[in-house]
């Protein structure tokens, strides 16, 4: 009897430990290959994405990467115009940015007086806001998006450092497609933005 009673606590601890390890491994797999959470610290994507939004990013949709590299084990869908993506900032890959794709490989882009033209056609951008009459980025191009690269811009167009400033985003730098808000916190009022929680990012 005493021998059995001594083994039971040890067995319980081992079972809990194994369950915890399995849960941790499962969470790491999800984070590495499927979904990862990011917070929004700046206003470059206003009003689409707010400061204090917490975003779930679909990492699987564009393919699965070889761990600790920017190379794909296999590719999924190609990123599309209009996708909001999280990616490694090309000038400092330790930092993550969130922007909207406005140009895919082969597109010819030009901006005239804050209006974006793609392949010679005016792009209707209902999601964009302008807050200043003039900036140094109101005009550029024409320029062609190279292979395996993307041109991105913030929806808060006059307050966004993006491809107009530092160039194209290599496909391998893209972490995933912004999918859904799982939390939103308004630091000005110190209250949750209940109406935003669970909404799609688009």
Beta strands in the chain (DSSP E): 35-39, 53-58, 63-65, 72-75, 84-88, 96-103, 108-112, 115-118, 121-122, 140-144, 149-153, 169-170, 174-186, 191-192
Q: Given CA atoms 79, 80, 81, 84 in this order, what sign does their dihedral have?
A: negative
- Residue 106's Cβ-side half-sphere holds a number of Cα atoms within 13 Å equal to 2
Tell me the pTM.
0.85
Provide the 3-class DSSP secondary structure of residue 167.
coil
State the pLDDT at residue 68. 86
- Tens digit of pLDDT for each residue in 33-92? 457 888 999 999 999 999 999 999 999 899 989 888 999 998 999 999 999 999 999 999
DSSP state of 171: G
Task: List, in order of start, the domains of the chain with CATH numbers.
Answer: 2-196 (2.10.109.10)
**Which position among 59, 88, 99, 177 bears the catalytic label?**
99
Residue 99 annotated in active site: yes
State the pLDDT at residue 25. 47
Which DSSP string do the residues of 63-97 spell out, in sequence order?
EEEPTTSSSEEEE-SPP-TT-EEEEE-TT-TTSEE
Cβ atoms of 51 and 42 closer than 8 Å: yes
State the pLDDT at residue 99. 98
Q: How far apart are CA 100 and CA 86, in angstroms?
A: 9
Ranges under pLDDT 70 in the chain: 1-34
To which residue do tokens 């999601």 refer? 127
């Amino acid at each position: 009897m005493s021998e059995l009673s001594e083994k039971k606590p040890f067995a319980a601890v081992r079972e809990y430990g194994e369950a915890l390890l399995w849960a941790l491994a499962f969470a790491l797999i999800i984070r590495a290959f499927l979904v990862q959470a990011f917070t929004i610290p700046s206003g470059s994507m206003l009003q689409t994405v707010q400061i204090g939004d917490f975003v779930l990013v679909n990492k699987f949709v564009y393919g699965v990467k070889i761990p600790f590299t920017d190379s794909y084990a296999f590719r999924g869908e190609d990123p599309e115009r209009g996708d909001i993506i999280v990616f490694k900032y090309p000038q400092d890959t330790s930092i993550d940015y969130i922007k909207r794709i406005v140009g895919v490989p082969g597109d010819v882009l030009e901006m005239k007086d804050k209006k974006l033209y793609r392949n010679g056609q005016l792009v209707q951008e209902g999601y964009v806001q302008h807050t200043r009459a003039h900036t140094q980025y109101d005009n550029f191009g024409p320029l062609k998006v190279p292979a395996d690269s993307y041109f991105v811009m913030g929806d808060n167009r006059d307050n966004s450092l993006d491809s107009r400033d530092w160039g194209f985003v290599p496909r391998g730098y893209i972490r995933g497609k912004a999918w859904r808000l799982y939390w939103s916190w308004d630091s000005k009022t110190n209250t949750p933005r209940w109406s935003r929680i669970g909404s799609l990012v688009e």
